């Protein structure tokens, strides 16, 4: 190729580049989601999924804001683009719902795992803001829960996630949202997230995982079970952290209210139990010994549904493959400070008395590099 041709190509590229930059810079940064898009000036889509797909095609580093009109949206979207704001009208009128359940949701997940595959909303990106909407998994957990264990209709994996904070998520903020489900409502499986001024509802291990999650100024509502309660026994569990030992912060509740819906008995719910996920190692497949959960409750109101022991154990996979390994709360990183309310008095079960991280240190650790 001679010099004249090369010079022509270079000059053409130089002239073309600004045009590309200007076109990218003039692209819209705000989308609308409505049931009907007639007459809408901004780019408008009739589903949240389509709006997110359009946002993902924008490869700039700009923030994209998606405003969702009131309505019920039955879909299963994923946020995979960094710097996205998902803003509803309010949590009472903008509702995202889906009814996937772990038993049959493997096809939704990249590795064929049913629990994360069941999520109604998946966040797998950095710098994400979600406000003023409700995210719900509407799987009929209670109907399955009331079936006898010997009933062939009963499924063994009824986990049904509303919100999945997936492995690439980090610096996620949720404010004035509703997160509703039964078992496994919120799965913290990524980096750092904060939930504020919100409602989280569920029953079994409904806030769980290995991520770093701060829940503040929120209502954490325990929901009923269909099976009858045995007095003195644990019926449900709020948190099930699987925090790696290398990570000082797990699931933290700050100035939140632990409430219950009608039908949840007194003294039936644990604050947390330690989840050691079954993991494959070079010498076998068994519960991860380094997943020593961290859970902290700071200045929280606790109603009478909280069990007087406050914490309980959890079984995991032993090296022989059976679910006989027992992990105790006394060996976990569980603590509470400033609990109050009729369920706040705890029985002495030998929990460690060491001083946990204070809320200032937790905020500093979570929010050091967040973009405002």
Give percent above pLDDT 90 in the chain.
84
What 3-state DSSP class applies to 357?
coil
Query: Rounded to whole angstroms, how far apart are CA atoms 270 and 313?
Result: 10
Question: 235 near 145, Cβ under 8 Å?
Answer: no
Query: Rounded to whole angstroms, how far apart are CA atoms 78 and 76?
Result: 7
Distances (CA, A) of 185 to 115, 146, 163, 221, 248: 10, 19, 6, 11, 23
CA 283-289-294 angle, to 5 degrees, is: 155
Write the pLDDT tens digit of every residue in 294-339: 999 999 999 999 999 999 999 999 999 999 999 999 999 999 999 9
Task: Give the per-residue pLDDT at 354.
Answer: 65
Lookup result for tokens 């979207």: 77
What length is written for the chain? 372
Q: Which of 172-176, 247-251, 356-360 has the lowest mean pLDDT?
A: 356-360
Topology of the domain covering 65-367: Pectate Lyase C-like (2.160.20)
Query: Rounded to whole angstroms, how far apart are CA atoms 64 and 76?
Result: 19
Q: Is the pLDDT of residue 220 over 60?
A: yes
Which of 124, 127, 132, 184 is catalytic? The answer is: 184
Name the token pair of 102.
């772990």
Question: 234 near 292, Cβ under 8 Å?
Answer: no
Q: Domain ranges in the chain?
A: 65-367
Question: 278 near 287, Cβ under 8 Å?
Answer: yes
What DSSP character marks residue 267?
T
Query: Rounded to whole angstroms, how far apart are CA atoms 211 and 218?
Result: 19
What 3-state DSSP class applies to 253?
strand
Put residue 341 in one of left, alpha, beta given phi > 0 → left and psi -120 to 50 → alpha. left
Q: Which residue has the higher pLDDT, 17 or 194?
A: 194
3-state secondary structure string, 72-136?
EEECCCEECCCCEEEECCCCCCEEEEECCCHHHCHHHCCCCCHHHHCCCEEECCEEEEEECCEEE
How confident is the prediction for the chain on average, in pLDDT? 92
Which of 205, 283, 288, 303 is catalytic? The answer is: 205
| Residue 205 appears among annotated catalytic residues | yes
Q: With bands split at pLDDT 50, 70 and 90, how would you rate the model's confidence at 25? A: low
Question: 144 near 155, Cβ under 8 Å?
Answer: yes
What DSSP character marks residue 322?
S
Q: Which of 85-94, 174-183, 223-232 has the lowest mean pLDDT?
A: 223-232
């Amino acid at each position: 190729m001679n010099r004249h041709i090369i010079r022509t190509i270079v000059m053409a590229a130089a002239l073309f580049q600004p045009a590309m930059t200007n076109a990218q810079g003039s692209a819209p940064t705000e989308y609308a989601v409505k049931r009907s898009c007639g007459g809408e000036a901004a780019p408008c889509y009739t589903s949240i999924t389509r709006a997110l797909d359009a946002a993902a095609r924008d490869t700039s580093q700009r923030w994209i804001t998606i405003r969702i009109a009131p309505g019920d949206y039955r879909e299963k979207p994923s946020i995979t683009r960094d710097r996205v704001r998902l803003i509803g009208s309010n949590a009472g009128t903008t509702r995202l719902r889906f009814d996937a359940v772990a038993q049959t949701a493997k096809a939704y997940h990249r590795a064929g795992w049913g629990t994360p595959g069941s999520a109604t909303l998946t966040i797998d990106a950095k710098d994400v803001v979600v406000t003023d909407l409700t995210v719900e998994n509407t799987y009929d957990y209670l109907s399955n829960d009331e079936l006898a264990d010997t009933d062939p209709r009963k499924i063994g994996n009824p986990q049904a996630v509303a919100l999945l904070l997936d492995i690439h998520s980090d610096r996620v903020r949720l404010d004035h949202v509703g997160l509703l489900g039964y078992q496994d409502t919120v799965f913290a499986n990524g980096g750092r997230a904060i939930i504020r001024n919100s409602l989280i509802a569920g029953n079994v291990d409904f806030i769980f995982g290995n991520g770093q999650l701060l829940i503040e100024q929120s209502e954490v509502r325990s929901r009923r079970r269909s099976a009858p309660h045995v007095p003195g026994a644990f019926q449900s569990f709020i948190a099930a952290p699987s925090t790696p030992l290398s990570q000082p912060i797990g699931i933290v509740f700050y100035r939140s209210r632990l409430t219950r819906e009608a039908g949840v008995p007194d003294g039936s719910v644990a604050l947390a139990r330690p989840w050691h996920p079954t993991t494959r190692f070079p010498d076998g497949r068994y519960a991860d010994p380094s997943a020593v959960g961290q859970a902290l409750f700071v200045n929280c109101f606790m109603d009478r549904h909280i069990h007087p022991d406050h914490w309980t154990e959890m079984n995991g996979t032993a090296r022989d493959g059976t679910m006989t390994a027992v992990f105790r709360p006394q060996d976990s990183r569980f603590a509470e400070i400033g609990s109050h309310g009729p369920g706040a008095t705890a029985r002495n079960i030998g929990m460690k008395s060491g001083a946990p991280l204070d809320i200032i240190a937790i905020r500093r650790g979570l929010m050091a590099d967040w973009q405002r």
